[in-house]
């Protein structure tokens, strides 16, 4: 009996370590793709790559206010999505909200290693904004970068998470196209994620 308990525990730990490595690999890939493409395919110098991928800082006031406005837009968008889902559930009598799958995944990650999860969150958001907004929006446009961003959220197993990522990704992509500020996108996105995690933790 004890053997089965320990073997099950070792399997769970090995699986968790594999998932952590997969997550870290995904972050590295998101950071490398733009550099690889611009350096090897477009043959840009490192100086041009830096100019191309690091939008100009717009000053404290503009960056802070922009980040807060973006956060407000993301929160309002989330509320509208949830209201629309609630209305659709009432009209059609079908349960559409499957965010419990996301709660289970996030809850598992927080329970397994909360410190690691919270420390890697800013890195993951940085990588997402770097790839999907800074790199892809100027090259493939708002729509295609948003579709790629949304589809890559399938790992939670929730169609509503994919829909939410699509709609929120659209807000983030449009914001970047209009304001050309990596910092506003990064700060707005990280604050939104932090609020979502805090709400989950308190619920």
Taking CA 157 as the corner, what is the angle to CA 156 and CA 160, rounded to the nearest 5 degrees? 90
pTM for this prediction: 0.84
Is residue 6 predicted with pLDDT exceeding 90? Answer: no
**Is the predicted pLDDT of residue 115 greater than 80, yes or no?**
no
68 Cβ partners below 8 Å, 6+ apart?
188
pLDDT for 136: 97
Both tokens of 80, joined, read 């509208």
pLDDT confidence tier of residue 93, bands split at 50, 70 and 90: confident
Sign of CA dihedral 21, 128, 77, 115: positive
Q: What is the mean pLDDT of the chain?
A: 86
| CA dist., res. 106 & res. 200, Å (int) | 8
**pLDDT value of residue 104:** 63
Local confidence band at 99 (pLDDT 50, 70, 90 cut-offs):
low
Q: CB neighbours of 73 closer than 8 A, spacing ≥ 6?
A: 171, 175, 188
Per-residue pLDDT at 5: 59
Query: Highest mean pLDDT range out of 15-29, 58-72, 187-201?
Result: 58-72
In sequence order, which residues have a C-beta less than 8 Å from that of residue 79 and are 6 or more positions away? none
Percent pLDDT > 90 in the chain is 52
At 18-56, the pLDDT tens digits run: 666 777 888 899 999 999 999 999 999 999 999 889 888
Query: Which of residues 149 and 23 earns the better pLDDT score?
Result: 149
pLDDT digits (tens, 9 = 90+) for 67-91: 999 999 999 999 999 899 889 888 8
pLDDT at 12: 66
């Amino acid at each position: 009996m004890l053997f089965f308990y320990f073997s099950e525990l070792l399997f769970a730990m090995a699986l968790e370590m594999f998932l952590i490595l997969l997550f870290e690999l995904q972050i590295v890939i998101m950071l490398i793709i733009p550099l690889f493409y611009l350096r090897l395919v477009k043959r840009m110098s490192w100086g041009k790559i830096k100019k191309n991928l690091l939008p100009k800082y717009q000053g404290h006031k503009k960056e802070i206010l922009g980040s807060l406005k973006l956060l407000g837009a993301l929160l309002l968008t989330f509320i509208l999505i949830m209201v629309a889902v609630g209305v659709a559930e009432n009209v059609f009598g079908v349960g559409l909200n499957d965010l419990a799958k996301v709660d289970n995944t996030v809850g598992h990650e927080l329970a397994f290693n909360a410190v690691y999860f919270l420390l890697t969150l800013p890195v993951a958001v940085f990588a997402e904004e770097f790839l999907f907004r800074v790199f892809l929006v100027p090259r493939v446009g708002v729509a295609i970068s948003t579709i790629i961003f949304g589809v890559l959220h399938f790992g939670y197993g929730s169609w509503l998470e994919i829909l939410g990522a699509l709609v929120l990704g659209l807000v983030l992509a449009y914001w970047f196209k209009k304001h050309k500020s990596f910092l506003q996108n990064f700060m707005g996105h990280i604050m939104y994620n932090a609020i979502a995690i805090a709400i989950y933790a308190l619920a």
